[in-house]
Amino acid sequence: MTNERKRDDAPTGNVALVTGASRGVGRGIALVLLAAGFQVYGTGRSIDQADLPREIVRLRCDHLNNDETARVFDAIRSGSGRLDLLVNCAWGGYEKMVEGGAFSWPAPFWEQPPHRWTGMMDAGVRAAFVCSAHAARMMTPRRRGLIINISFWAAQRHLGNTIYGIAKAATDKMTSDMAVELKPFDIPVIALYPGLVRTEAVLAAAKSGAFDLSTSESPEFIGRVINALFHDQDLMARTGQVLIAAAVAKEFGVLDIDGKSPPALTLADL
């Protein structure tokens, strides 16, 4: 781990941890929270090489490793003494999508490579569970905090990969049940769905015509939505729910970095 703070240099604002902050959605969220005044910790296996401002505390972590995950929270406890926001964005499901020259991601479940289960369920769902458990231990004594689990529509409709659907459905159910157990401590838990996000991988695929980016979202957009939710005084009324980021944005008047208001996708759009 690198760039860790000492307690005598602890921040006075809100403290956030964004897992999977090296690139894509996680990086966008981390950038927005930093600009909004949060002290931001970001994790990732390649976080040391990530294009991030120096103010973001980089904690190298493979969330498949329990000891490395535990050290992340030890560092936050030592550096800041508390945690106000956890955004579970770590996800290994999009790795090795092309193998042996073939696009294996949409193959039927009986032809899926074992690593894809590990990437989606262990590096995704399990990582979010373990991080949420650590976060809850820090948040419940203060009766303050927010846990956001990044999920997607695959929980509600088959989108080309059975494991993908299982992982997202598990994330939504995990959110719902965690919310029940954290409600007595006034700590909301939310599952948040992005739309089509202009991540590095999506932009690369768009060059071949794979995606229509006309209604897409920047990686920073969902970070703006999370910041708005964090400051919502009535957020406990939403705990345990699945929220569509673009729909929440319209409610709060949140715009994307280009000044646009991305449409809220529905199942019919998918």
Please report, for the chain, the start and end positions of each structural domain, with discontinuous segments joined by +: 7-252
Average pLDDT over residues 164-176: 97
Please confirm, yes or no, whether 41 is among the known catalytic residues. Answer: no
Q: For residues 243 and 226, what is the distance between their CA atoms, to the nearest angstrom?
A: 11
Q: Which two tokens stand for residue 54?
A: 């120096």
**Active-site annotation holder among 41, 94, 164, 193:** 164
Paired with 146 in beta bridges are 85
Full-prediction pTM beyond 0.85?
yes
Burial class of residue 62 in the structure, from the number of CB atoms within 10 Å of its CB (0-12 exposed, 13-18 middle, 19+ buried) = middle
Token pair listed for 94: 């999009």
Whether 182 and 235 have beta carbons less than 8 Å apart is answered as no
Per-residue pLDDT, 99: 80
* Domain 7-252 part of CATH 3.30.9.10: no
Q: Answer whether 125's CB lies under 8 Å from 167's CB.
A: yes
Structure tokens at 266: 């529905």
Q: What's the pLDDT tens digit per position in 177-206? A: 999 999 999 999 999 999 888 887 777 766
Task: Supply 38's token pair.
Answer: 């949060």
